[in-house]
Amino acid sequence: MAKAEFVFRPLNIAVITVSDTRTEENDSSGDYLVNSADVAGHNVVCKDIVIDDVYLIRAKVSHHIADKNIHAILITGGTGFTSRDSTPEAVSPLFDKHVEGFGELFRYLSYKEIETSTIQSRALAGLANNTIIFCMPGSTGACKTAWTGIIQCQLDGEHAPCNFAPHVLQKSKT
């Protein structure tokens, strides 16, 4: 059996902010994710702000899933319990496979920061067409928790014993 090769390869990332109120001028969470991905050596190929509407979110995410040059989608916002929060309903039907551990691990890490308020997060992740999709709350603090505690390592091909880089890099080959 061949030994796995763990090397860093930059991924192409789309960042989506789901919000009825954020603009390019005040989107601190989206900006944080763009800057963090850039510092980590990845290529942010687009950054979008989409209002919290199931069908508009689903259309934007579907567009990125179909793009063979996008390996990962980072979505911030729309994961709470207000009447307008609809990211999980929009995105989860698109998943080929759910990454069950992401939500659980995010809430575990978040509990250390905001205690039981973390149960109001419906953070989730999944794979669709060899694209990894991470959905996290809209606060910049939550994005920092998700990025530093989970996402950064999972997008890094050097992270052992496993990461999502080999799965999503298959997409560019098709």
Here the CATH number for the domain that contains residue 46 is 3.40.980.10
Q: Is the dihedral of CA 74, 79, 85, 89 positive or negative?
A: positive
In this predicted structure, the answer to whether residue 30 has a pLDDT above a threshold of 70 is: yes
In this predicted structure, the answer to whether residue 5 has a pLDDT above a threshold of 90 is: no
| Domain assignment present for 138 | yes
| Domain assignment present for 50 | yes
- Average pLDDT (158-164) is 94
What pLDDT sits at residue 3?
A: 53
CB 76 within 8 A of CB 143: yes
- Average pLDDT (23-35) is 97
| Domain assignment present for 168 | yes
Q: Residue 116 sits in which domain range?
A: 12-173
Q: How far apart are CA 103 and CA 86, in angstroms?
A: 16
| Domain assignment present for 1 | no
Lowest mean pLDDT among 4-18, 49-63, 147-161: 4-18
172 versus 115: the higher-pLDDT residue is 115
Lowest mean pLDDT among 57-61, 105-109, 145-149, 167-171: 167-171
| Domain assignment present for 44 | yes
- One-letter-per-residue 3-state SS of the chain: CCCCCCCCCCCEEEEEEECCCCCCCCCHHHHHHHHHHHHCCCEEEEEEEECCCHHHHHHHHHHHHHCCCCCEEEEECCCCCCCCCCHHHHHHHHCCEECHHHHHHHHHHHHHHHHHHHHHCCCEEEEECCEEEEEECCCHHHHHHHHHHHHHHHCCCCCCCCCCHHHHHHHHHC
Phi/psi for 13 (5° steps) reads: -125, 140
| Domain assignment present for 153 | yes
Domain count, the chain: 1
- Average pLDDT (38-62) is 98
| Domain assignment present for 45 | yes
In this predicted structure, the answer to whether residue 173 has a pLDDT above a threshold of 70 is: no
